[in-house]
Amino acid sequence: MRENMRRELTQKLQDRTTLVEKAESLLKDGKREEYRAEMDKVRNLNGEIEDLKSLIEEQDRKFMEKAIDPAEERDKAAERGNDLMKGQEVTFSVQEVRKALFVPGAVEKSVTLATGTLAQPTGAGTNIRDPLGYGVGAIIDQVYVQDLTGMASFLEPYVISEFDASGAKVSTAAGTARTDSDDPTFGVAKISPYELTTTSYVDRNIARLTPANYYAKVFAMAMRAMRRDTVEMIFNGDGQGTPDMYGIKNAKNVAGSAIFASLNVEEVGPDLLTDLMFAYGGDEELGGNCRLYLNKKDLQALGKLRGTNEKRRLFDIVPDAGNPNTGIIREGGTIVPYSISSKLTALSASTAGSSDIQTMVYGDPMNYELGLFGDYTVRVDESVKAVERMLTILGDAMVGGNLIVDKGFVVATLPKTGGGG
């Protein structure tokens, strides 16, 4: 049933892409009435798409929460472990990837189920722990993730400006023709598959493990590598070196216009957080679900800021005990959630030069859509790092992404020399 709904959703997304492209063409030709008629079809289809998405999300939730049969999981791990040991590829479905990447603790749970309580040789345990300084950014757990298996690409329309209502006094408007309101303006974000290749290394002594334990080690390392490299793309994908894979700092629509907002900044100062908060959204809103993503050096710089007279710290930084990658920044009654990432440039360590420097970003992570376009294949190569006595874990996946809400993030930008503020 879930697969049938996915196929129906894929078809409706493709139908919407066709309608949007037709509407854009009509608008360029000045055929406003025909354009409006096509956009009415798009709006109706959007309702059907959202209903289908809700049904699929509920089915996915049940799948994610479904109890796993430990014996079945161990058998599968042993089979896959044998294949990996022979140098063969192992393929993870999109559902397996989603479950491993976007459900807290899922990798560790899968590793435990695959290995049971078997004793491990020293130095070849299956419980993978990040070295200090090599954690994975939390944003991958916070963005909107969609299964786009079977699609070449699709267009996600979004509103740039709403209808501009016009009015007049009843006494003067009676008997006169209605004044046309300005049409709403739409942007279209394109999300296309980009081939993401992942690489990680592990001591070749894991070959002494049982096939199930060998698989568990490779599985955890491969998923961690995919998380790490996908975070890089979510922030920094530029649509050029990563064709059609747009990160937050370079998000563009099909017309080539930026989907993100920019805020010129000069330093990590007392007003930085307030400026970012008020740069987000329209004239009648602040971002209720917004987060600040920044380099650890900038978080430290915020923590060091002190008042002029009392010499007290201006900001209290409170890390999350369950996830040291995230926390809150508190200033009086204002609380700003944060996540740190080494994939972002530190404003505090930057100097204005010949080009603008994009640093921290602020926005609602659900404004970014990450598409999974198919399976994740993994294999182990013994030759690449043979001299270092390491095994190389190679992975290939098709992912895509873009902002899907106009000005869905604010990018703090240090202007180039002479660029103005």
The pLDDT tens digits of the residues spanning 268-279 come to 999 999 999 999
Q: Which residue has the higher pLDDT, 122 or 289?
A: 289
Is residue 402 helix, strand or coil?
A: strand
Tokens representing 15 are: 């139908």
Backbone angles phi, psi at 158, to 5 degrees: -145, 155
Q: What is the mean pLDDT of residues 32-54?
A: 87
What is the predicted pLDDT for the residue at 420?
54
This prediction has a pTM of: 0.78
Kindly indicate the confidence band of residue 106, based on its pLDDT and cuts at 50, 70 and 90. Answer: very low
Question: What percentage of the chain carries pLDDT values higher than 70?
Answer: 80
The mean of the pLDDT values for the chain is 80
Q: Is residue 208 part of a domain?
A: yes
| 192 or 24, greater pLDDT | 192
Are 131 and 18 members of one domain? no
Instruction: Centre a 10 Å sphere on the Cβ of residue 160 and count the other Cβ atoms it contains.
Output: 13
Beta-strand (E) ranges in 56-129?
A: 90-92
Contact 314, 306 (CB under 8 A): yes
Looking at residue 350, its pLDDT comes to 94
Most confident residue range from 6-15, 56-65, 75-84, 296-305: 296-305
| C-alpha to C-alpha distance for 412 and 418, rounded to whole angstroms | 17
Alpha-helical regions (H) of 305-348: none
Q: In terms of domains, do 154 and 281 share one?
A: no
- Name the amino acid, one letter, at 311: K
Is 21 within the bounds of a domain? yes
Q: Are residues 34 and 104 in the same domain?
A: no
Q: Which residues of 35-47 are buried (b: 16+ CB within 10 A; e: fewer)?
A: beebbeebeebee
- The backbone torsions φ and ψ at residue 371, rounded to the nearest 5 degrees and listed phi first, read -105, 135
380 occurs within a structural domain: yes
The first and second tokens of residue 118, run together, are: 């078997």
Domain housing 36: 2-60+149-165+176-191
Q: Are residues 330 and 401 in the same domain?
A: yes
Break the chain down into helix, strand, coil percent, rounded to 5.
40, 25, 35
Query: Does residue 189 carry a pLDDT above 50?
Result: yes
* Long-range own/partner contacts, residues 389-393 (CB < 8 A, 24 or more apart): 389/203, 389/204, 390/201, 390/202, 390/203, 390/204, 391/201, 391/202, 391/203, 391/204, 391/206, 391/207, 392/199, 392/200, 392/201, 393/198, 393/199, 393/200, 393/201, 393/202, 393/218, 393/221, 393/222, 393/225
The pLDDT score that the predictor gives to residue 364 is 94
Q: Is residue 124 part of a domain?
A: yes
- Predicted confidence band of residue 114 (pLDDT cuts 50, 70, 90): very low
CA distance 16 to 43: 9
Q: How many whole angstroms separate alpha carbon 120 and alpha carbon 56?
A: 40
Per-residue DSSP letters for 192-216?
Answer: --EEEEEEEEEEGGGGGS-HHHHHH
Asked if residue 38 belongs to a domain, the reply is: yes
pLDDT at 243: 65
Does 277 share its domain with 415? yes
Do 31 and 106 have their domain in common? no
Statement to judge: residues 52 and 112 lie in one domain: no
Q: Which of 361, 377, 292 is nearest to 329 (CA)?
A: 292
Question: What is the C-alpha to C-alpha distance for residues 279 and 265, in angstroms, rounded to an integer?
Answer: 12
pLDDT at 77: 85
Residue 121 has a pLDDT of: 31
Looking at residue 266, what is its pLDDT?
94
| Residue 170 belongs to some domain of the structure | no
Same domain, 354 and 250: yes
Q: Last residue of a domain, which of 124, 157, 191?
A: 191
Do both 283 and 183 map to the same domain? no
Q: How confident is the model at residue 419 (pLDDT cuts 50, 70, 90)?
A: low
Residues 160, 288, single domain; the answer is no
The answer to the question of residue 365 being in a domain is yes
What the block records as the tokens of 150 is 């079977």
Q: Are residues 136 and 159 in the same domain?
A: no
Residues 180 and 157 in one domain: yes
As for how many domains the chain has, the answer is 2
Residue 157: pLDDT band (50, 70, 90) is: confident
Whether 387 is in a domain gets the answer yes
What is the C-alpha to C-alpha distance for residues 92 and 124, in angstroms, rounded to an integer?
23
Q: Which residue has the higher pLDDT, 131 or 38?
A: 38
- Helix spans in 120-271 (H): 170-173, 211-236
Nearest to 191 by CA among 234, 160, 231, 227: 234
Residue 395 has pLDDT above 80, yes or no: yes
pLDDT top residue among 85 and 104? 85
